[in-house]
Structure 1
Amino acid sequence: MARLNYLELPVGDVAGHKRFYAEAFGWSFTDYGPSYAATTTGDVDIGLQGDASEHSAQLLPVIEVDDIDAAQARIETAGGTVTLPIFAFPGGRRFHFRDPHGHELAVMQPG
């Protein structure tokens, strides 16, 4: 199974963006340190990445898979390029890649 489960937004001000989305849509966020917060609805969630050294240049769609190693192999075979190797994060493991057209996406496996 593979499905879009997360969208990470590069932001400069996590607190300000949390306020905006709370006021605009009624969303609540869980803080994961001083520079990251995310909704935790269990559906397609939104992450706010406030650390400029760690966020992508644009929106980062995150695809959930059952087997991250197999997904990476399939992506590379299909012509994708890994841009950030597999790493652990609160909630599982993840890596980033660029598709053949240059779009950056991430793949995660829940932990």
Structure 2
Amino acid sequence: MAEPNSQKLKHEQIQYIEFLSKDIVQAKAFYTKCFGWKFTDYGAAYTAFAGDYVDGGFTYGEPVNGTVLVILYTEDIEATKNKVISAGGTIVKDIFSFPGGKRFQFTDLDGYELAVWTE
């Protein structure tokens, strides 16, 4: 993930959005031109972006309507994971490390997939 702005880090708020893109270079050019987003590449298959009020990333894949991944920030990843489980959510990717922190992914009761991250 792009380096987060510490003023934006609020417990369990939506923090980051990931998109699938079949052409990351094209996506970067489009969003730079439209919104002035700044990009940081993490290999050929992932780029993170930072805008004035949104951070996110593009990962290589075939875009499908409904595949945007909403990512929430937490101060306590274990406690938030336990709350998701106790509310009936299903963990689909257990806690893992990545450059910048840790995260897990879950589906809600309607089957929507979201993620939670921490530094």
TM superposition score category, shorter chain reference: 0.7 to 0.9
Counterpart contact for 2:18–2:57, Cα < 8 Å: yes
Give matches, 1:1-111, under 5 Å.
1-40=11-50, 43-50=53-60, 52=61, 58-110=67-119
Please give the TM-score of this superposition, normalised by the length of structure 2: 0.82
Percent identity of equivalent pairs: 40
CA RMSD of aligned residues (A): 1.8
Aligned length: 106
Q: Which consecutive aligned stretches of 4+ in structure 1 deviate over 2 angstroms post-superposition? A: 40-44
Q: State the Cα distance separating 1:26 from its structure 2 match.
A: 1.4
Q: Matches of 1:99 and 1:8 in 2, distance apart?
A: 17
Q: Runs of 5+ in structure 1 lacking a partner?
A: none
Q: Runs of 5+ in structure 2 lacking a partner?
A: 1-10
